[in-house]
Amino acid sequence: MPQLTIDGKQITAPVGATILQVARENGIDIPTFCHHEALEPWGACRLCIVEVDEGSRTRLVTSCNFPVKEGLAVTTKNKSIIAIRKMIIELLLTRCPNAQAVRQMADKLGVTGTRFPIENEFCILCGMCVRVCKEIVGAQAISFASRGGNKKVASPFFKRSGDCIGCGACVYVCPTQCITMNDVTEATDVYAEGTEQVGYARVMNNWRTRLPLKVCKSCGNPIAPEFQLQVLGKKAGLAPDALDLCQGCKE
Amino acid sequence: MRISTAADLERLKQEGHKQLHPDTVRIMVGTATCCLARGAGKVIKAIEREAAAQKFACTIVPVGCIGLCHQEPTVEVIQPGKPRIAYGPVTVEDVPEFIKALAAGGVDKKRALFRSEQEYSLFAAEPYRYAQGAVADDLKEIPAYSDVPFYKKQVKICLRNAGTINPESIEEYIAMGGYAALAKAVTQMTPEQVIHEVTKSNLRGRGGGGFSTGKKWTECRKAPGGQRYVLCNVSEGDPGIGMHKSLLESDPHTVLEGLIIGGYAIGAAQGYIYISSGYPLGLKRLQKAIEQAAAYGLLGTNILGSGFNFTVTIKEGGGAYVCGESTALMAGLEGRIGEPRPKYIHTAVKGLWDSPSDLNNVETWANVPVIIGKGADWFSGIGTGSSKGTKVIGISGSVKTPCLVEVPMGTLFKEIFNEMGGGVPAKRKLKAFQTGGPSGGVLPARMLSLNLDYEEMGKAGTNLGSGGFIAIDDRACMVDIARFFTQFLLEESCGKCVPCREGVKRLLQLINNFTIGIGTEEHLTLIKELAFAMEKASLCDLGKTAPSVVQYAIKYFKDEFEAHMQGQCPAGVCKDLILYSIDAKLCTACGACIRACPVNAISGDPGSAPTLDMKKCIKCGACKEVCDVEAITT
Write the residue in A66, A94, A150 that is nearest to B506 by C-beta: A94
Answer yes or no: do B300 and B448 share one domain.
no
ipTM, interface predicted TM-score of the complex: 0.90
CB contact under 8 A, B498 and A92: yes
Whether residue B224 is preceded by a cis peptide bond, meaning omega within 30 degrees of 0, is no
Q: What is the largest CA-CA distance in chain A?
A: 75
Give, in order, the Cα–Cα distances in Å from A216 to each of A199, A220, A236, A242, A244.
Answer: 13, 5, 20, 11, 6
Inside any domain, residue B19? yes
Q: Report the number of distinct structural domains present in chain B.
A: 5
Within 8 A of A147 by CB-CB distance, chain B residues are 320, 322, 491-495
Show the low-confidence residues of chain B (pLDDT under 70).
Answer: 240
Cα–Cα distance for residue pair B359/B348, rounded to 1 Å:
8
Question: Nearest CA of chain B to the CA of A90: how many Å?
Answer: 10
DSSP B409-446: TT-BHHHIIIIIS-SSPTT--EEEEEESGGGSEEEEGG
Whether residue A31 is preceded by a cis peptide bond, meaning omega within 30 degrees of 0, is no
Residue ending a domain, choose from B426, B457, B473: B473
Backbone region of residue B544 per phi and psi (left: phi > 0; alpha: psi in -120 to 50; beta: other values)? alpha
Answer yes or no: do B444 and B523 share one domain.
no
Backbone region of residue B550 per phi and psi (left: phi > 0; alpha: psi in -120 to 50; beta: other values)? alpha
Within 8 A of A45 by CB-CB distance, chain B residues are 497-498
Cα–Cα distance for residue pair B176/B169, rounded to 1 Å:
11
Stated as kind and residue range, the H or E segment containing B374 is helix B362-374
Q: How many CB atoms lie within 10 A of CB B203?
A: 26
Q: How many CB atoms lie within 10 A of CB A246?
A: 19
Length of chain B: 634
DSSP B544-576: HHTTHHHHHHHHH-HHHHHHHHTT--TTS--GG
Cα–Cα distance for residue pair B619/B356, rounded to 1 Å:
55
Using alpha carbons only, give the angle B289, B357, B4 rounded to the nearest 5 degrees. Answer: 40
Inside any domain, residue B358? yes
C-alpha B392: how far from chain center: 6
In CATH terms, is domain A3-77 a member of 3.10.20.740? yes
Q: What is the largest CA-CA distance in chain B?
A: 82
Percent of chain A residues past pLDDT 70, beyond the cut? 100
For residues A55-71, one letter each, b for 16 or more C-beta atoms within 10 angstroms of the residue's C-beta and e for the rest, the string is eeeeebbbbbbbebeee
For an interface test with B, the pick among A30, A46, A49 (most B C-beta atoms closer than 10 Å) comes out as A46
Q: Which residues touch B15 (CB under 8 Å, ≥6 apart)? A: B171, B175
Within 8 A of B533 by CB-CB distance, chain A residues are 83-84, 87-88
Give the tens place of pLDDT for each residue, B598-627: 998 998 887 788 888 888 888 888 888 888
Q: CB contact, 8 Å: B349 with chain A?
A: no
Question: Nearest CA of chain B to the CA of A103: how many Å?
Answer: 16
The conformation of residue A133, written as its DSSP 8-state character, comes to I
Which of B459, B420, B425 shows the shortest CA–CA distance to B552?
B459
pLDDT for position A64: 92
Q: Taking the CA of residue B589 as centre, how many other CA atoms within 13 Å lie in the half-sphere pointing to its CB?
A: 9
Which residues constitute the domain of residue B596? Answer: 579-633
Taken in order B449, B452, B458, B461, the sign of the CA dihedral is positive
Answer yes or no: do B289 and B436 share one domain.
no
Give the tens place of pLDDT for each residue, B484-495: 999 999 988 888
Within 8 A of A87 by CB-CB distance, chain B residues are 499, 529-530, 532-533, 537
Write the residue in A66, A87, A146 that is nearest to B529 by C-beta: A87
Inside any domain, residue B462? yes
Which of B541, B572, B561, B564 shows the shortest CA–CA distance to B439?
B541
pLDDT for position B240: 67
Q: Which residues pair with A210 in a beta bridge?
A: A203
Cα–Cα distance for residue pair B557/B551, rounded to 1 Å:
10
Which of B84, B51, B69, B19 shows the shortest CA–CA distance to B245?
B69
Answer yes or no: do B496 and B538 share one domain.
yes
Give the tens place of pLDDT for each residue, A70-107: 888 999 999 999 999 999 999 999 999 999 999 999 99
Residue in B with minimal Cα distance to A59: B536
Answer yes or no: do B115 and B40 share one domain.
yes
Give, in order, the Cα–Cα distances in Å from B29 to each of A36, A242, B158.
Answer: 60, 74, 20
Answer yes or no: do B23 and B77 share one domain.
yes
Residue in A with minimal Cα distance to B525: A115
Cα–Cα distance for residue pair B40/B355, rounded to 1 Å:
44
Inside any domain, residue B570? no
Instruction: List the helix and strand counts (H, then E) for chain A.
Output: 7, 11
Amino acid at B407: V
Amino acid at A68: V
Cα–Cα distance for residue pair A172/A167, rounded to 1 Å:
9
Inside any domain, residue B514? yes
Which of B484, B480, B485 shows the shortest CA–CA distance to B572?
B480
Inside any domain, residue B490? yes
Answer yes or no: do B268 and B234 share one domain.
yes
Question: Nearest CA of chain A to the CA of B510: how many Å?
Answer: 9
Size of interface A-B (CB pairs under 8 A): 104
Answer yes or no: do B608 and B521 share one domain.
no
Q: Report domain extents, chain A.
A: 3-77, 128-250
Write the residue in B337, B491, B537 that is nearest to A46 by C-beta: B537
SS (H, E, C) B307-361: CCCEEEEEEEECCCHHHHCHHHHHHHHCCCCCCCCCCCCCCCCCCHHHCCEEEEE
Question: Nearest CA of chain A to the CA of B493: how many Å?
Answer: 4
Which of B202, B35, B25 shows the shortest CA–CA distance to B101?
B25
Cα–Cα distance for residue pair B181/A32, rounded to 1 Å:
52
Answer yes or no: do B613 and B515 share one domain.
no
Answer yes or no: do B228 and B366 share one domain.
yes
Cβ burial of B615 (10 Å; 0-12, 13-18, 19+) is exposed
Within 8 A of A134 by CB-CB distance, chain B residues are none
Q: Which residues touch B628 (CB under 8 Å, ≥6 apart)? A: B588, B590, B592
The conformation of residue A27, written as its DSSP 8-state character, comes to T
Answer yes or no: do B252 and B326 share one domain.
yes
The CATH number linked to B529 is: 1.20.1440.230
Answer yes or no: do B198 and B271 share one domain.
yes
CB contact under 8 A, B529 and A83: yes
B610 by DSSP, 3-state: which?
coil
Phi and psi for B43 in degrees, rounded to 5? Answer: -65, -40
For an interface test with B, the pick among A80, A147, A150 (most B C-beta atoms closer than 10 Å) comes out as A147
Written as tens digits, the pLDDT of chain A (251 aa) is 888 889 988 989 898 899 999 999 999 999 999 999 999 999 899 999 999 998 888 899 999 989 998 888 999 999 999 999 999 999 999 999 999 999 999 999 999 989 999 999 999 999 999 999 999 999 999 999 988 888 999 999 999 988 999 999 999 999 999 999 999 988 888 898 888 888 899 999 999 999 999 988 888 888 899 999 988 888 888 887 888 888 888 87
Cα–Cα distance for residue pair B324/B236, rounded to 1 Å:
6
Cα–Cα distance for residue pair B559/B565, rounded to 1 Å:
10
Which of B253, B256, B260, B251 shows the shortest CA–CA distance to B304?
B260
Stated as kind and residue range, the H or E segment containing A249 is helix A247-250
Cα–Cα distance for residue pair A177/A101, rounded to 1 Å:
9
Give, in order, the Cα–Cα distances in Å from A168 to each of A67, A181, A188, A233, B497.
Answer: 32, 7, 22, 17, 25
A60 by DSSP, 3-state: which?
strand
Q: How many CB atoms lie within 10 A of CB A12?
A: 10
Q: CB contact, 8 Å: B320 with chain A?
A: yes
Which of B260, B212, B35, B409 shows the shortest CA–CA distance to B252?
B260
CB contact under 8 A, A146 and B501: no
Inside any domain, residue B421? yes
Cβ-contact A18, A64 below 8 angstroms: yes
Mutual angle of helices B558-565 and B478-492, in 10-degree steps: 90
Taken in order B513, B519, B522, B527, the sign of the CA dihedral is positive
Cα–Cα distance for residue pair B92/B542, rounded to 1 Å:
44
